[in-house]
Amino acid sequence: MWVNANLATMVADEGNSNAYGEIEDAALAVRGDRIAWIGSSADALALAQTQDVGVTDCGGAWLLPGLIDCHTHLVYGGSRVEEFEKRLCGVSYEEIARAGGGIQSTVNATRGATPEALLESATRRAHGLMAEGVTTLEIKSGYGLEVGTERRLLEVARELGRRLPVSVRTTYLGLHALPKEAAADRAGFVGQVSGPWLEALAGAGLIDAVDAFCENIAFSLAETEQFLRAAQRLGLPAHVHAGQLSDMGAAELAARFGALSADHLEYLSAPGATALAAAGTVAVLLPGAYYMLRQTTPPPVPLMRQAGVAMALATDCNPGTSPCTSLLLALNMGCTLFGLTPHEALAGVTRHAAQALGLQADIGTLAIGKRADFALYRIDRPAELCYNLGANPCTGVIYGGVARRFKN
Ligand SMILES: [Zn+2]
């Protein structure tokens, strides 16, 4: 029994009068790994007199559903810090690319890394997220670009979920970039990704969903569709990197396949937004990449609002465009750079992030029967989680009903 807390249940309230689902001076009881009861602190203490329950005093902290980072590329080798430094010291993109920089450098470093090294660096990054109250994490492959390394990335992601008190969902990002060795045979590469590689990884139980980077610098609509169709035949749900740099109609394609999410969406048309809303596909907004790339066209949040698209927020943790291990920073950026309300931003890392992973029945709100994943914060009101820049007010994390503490 957790008493003397203020709950932000994040249960949907279309009337918006109680936007965070606030219950002040509240208590929450856990049985096994589930939320068993929610009520007032006074009722909880009376109940505790008659039953044998352990009582924890939250000291007036705010208690929220465990945060969900629904879009990361957390497992990779190397880093791109040198490239970052060179660019800021005046070296051109072209020179960096000629010197082997860019995504191919991460692919090379990842292919050369041992599983132990990949696990070690990913664990450090996961700890950063977990210290802020993250209890569920999506991890994409995509830096192998050949089946052996892709398998290793997915295995490391699964291992992370076994070792750490965090739930991990894995995504096979088969179409991320065209590897150097396949430059002369795009169709052959897409065929491998959509055929034998997908079947092998799915057969090994390593994939919860698939993803493709549909963009003029990556893969076309037709190539993306070929991959999504193959995944659909295997019963795998999809995410799509859509509309980051241009509007190719990738959002409409994601909607047509009933994708769980379409991610980025700086470039999105009105019909695209309508299609996403109709399909129940979540728009996952990624302000970290937008910030690092110094983009100037934000996603059309008013259009998505009007169309009724559910919006989530994530770190997009990756070495090239968003080396971010703070979901709280993504909350602030979602508000300051994209104009989300604090309520929308918090729904974006709880209820809507759960929907983006297809887990809304199990996590994302504080409600009876849901998994007892929650986090405690020393704040005056929920919006403070979006307001702070660089502070971490998280004072405790409960994962599956068990209290955990982490070192950052
Ligand atoms: Zn991404």
Q: How far apart are CA 23 and CA 2, in angstroms?
A: 13
The alpha carbon of 225 and the centre of ligand 1 are apart by a number of angstroms equal to 18
The alpha carbon of 71 and the centre of ligand 1 are apart by a number of angstroms equal to 6
What is the reported pLDDT for 94?
A: 77
The alpha carbon of 347 and the centre of ligand 1 are apart by a number of angstroms equal to 20
The alpha carbon of 46 and the centre of ligand 1 are apart by a number of angstroms equal to 49
Q: How far apart are CA 275 and CA 277, in angstroms?
A: 5
3-state helix, strand, coil in the chain (%, to 5): 40, 20, 40
Closest CA to 3 of 32, 30, 22, 21: 30
Number of Cβ within a 10 Å radius of residue 170: 25
- As given in the structure block, the two tokens for residue 126 are 């996961």
The alpha carbon of 72 and the centre of ligand 1 are apart by a number of angstroms equal to 6
The alpha carbon of 20 and the centre of ligand 1 are apart by a number of angstroms equal to 28
What is the reported pLDDT for 15?
A: 62
Average pLDDT, 10 consecutive residues per value, the chain (408 residues): 96 73 95 96 89 91 98 96 91 79 90 98 98 98 98 98 98 96 96 98 98 95 98 98 96 98 98 98 98 95 97 97 97 98 97 98 98 97 96 96 70
- Are 254 and 209 in contact, with CB atoms under 8 Å apart? no
What is the reported pLDDT for 13?
A: 75
Q: Please report, for residues 36, 159, 179, 283, the alpha-carbon distance to residue 113 in angstroms, rounded to integers and kept in the order given.
A: 44, 16, 17, 33
The amino acid at 303: L
- Are 231 and 238 in contact, with CB atoms under 8 Å apart? yes
- Are 26 and 39 in contact, with CB atoms under 8 Å apart? yes
Number of Cβ within a 10 Å radius of residue 33: 14
The alpha carbon of 218 and the centre of ligand 1 are apart by a number of angstroms equal to 12
What is the reported pLDDT for 407?
A: 41
- As given in the structure block, the two tokens for residue 21 are 């689902």
Contacts of 144 (CB under 8 A, 6+ apart): 107, 110, 111, 150, 151, 152, 153
The alpha carbon of 7 and the centre of ligand 1 are apart by a number of angstroms equal to 32
Closest CA to 140 of 270, 35, 284: 284
Q: How far apart are CA 216 and CA 390, in angstroms?
A: 35
What is the reported pLDDT for 18?
A: 61
**What angle do helix axes 103-111 and 147-163 make, rounded to 10 degrees?**
70
The alpha carbon of 53 and the centre of ligand 1 are apart by a number of angstroms equal to 44
The alpha carbon of 140 and the centre of ligand 1 are apart by a number of angstroms equal to 8
The alpha carbon of 241 and the centre of ligand 1 are apart by a number of angstroms equal to 7
The alpha carbon of 322 and the centre of ligand 1 are apart by a number of angstroms equal to 9
Q: Is the pTM of this model over 0.75?
A: yes
The alpha carbon of 223 and the centre of ligand 1 are apart by a number of angstroms equal to 18
The alpha carbon of 139 and the centre of ligand 1 are apart by a number of angstroms equal to 10
The alpha carbon of 315 and the centre of ligand 1 are apart by a number of angstroms equal to 9
Closest CA to 54 of 30, 33, 26: 30
- As given in the structure block, the two tokens for residue 310 are 């559910």
Contacts of 401 (CB under 8 A, 6+ apart): 30, 31, 32, 33, 34, 372
The alpha carbon of 169 and the centre of ligand 1 are apart by a number of angstroms equal to 14
The alpha carbon of 73 and the centre of ligand 1 are apart by a number of angstroms equal to 6
The alpha carbon of 215 and the centre of ligand 1 are apart by a number of angstroms equal to 12
Three state DSSP letters for 296-361: CCCCCHHHHHHHCCCEEECCCCECCCECCCCHHHHHHHHHHCCCCCHHHHHHHCCHHHHHHCCCCC
The alpha carbon of 289 and the centre of ligand 1 are apart by a number of angstroms equal to 8
The alpha carbon of 262 and the centre of ligand 1 are apart by a number of angstroms equal to 11
- As given in the structure block, the two tokens for residue 350 are 């709880």
- As given in the structure block, the two tokens for residue 401 are 């009903």
In the chain, what is the straight-line distance between the N-terminal and C-terminal CA atoms, in Å? 27
What is the reported pLDDT for 408?
A: 36
Q: How far apart are CA 351 and CA 348, in angstroms?
A: 7
- Are 333 and 314 in contact, with CB atoms under 8 Å apart? no
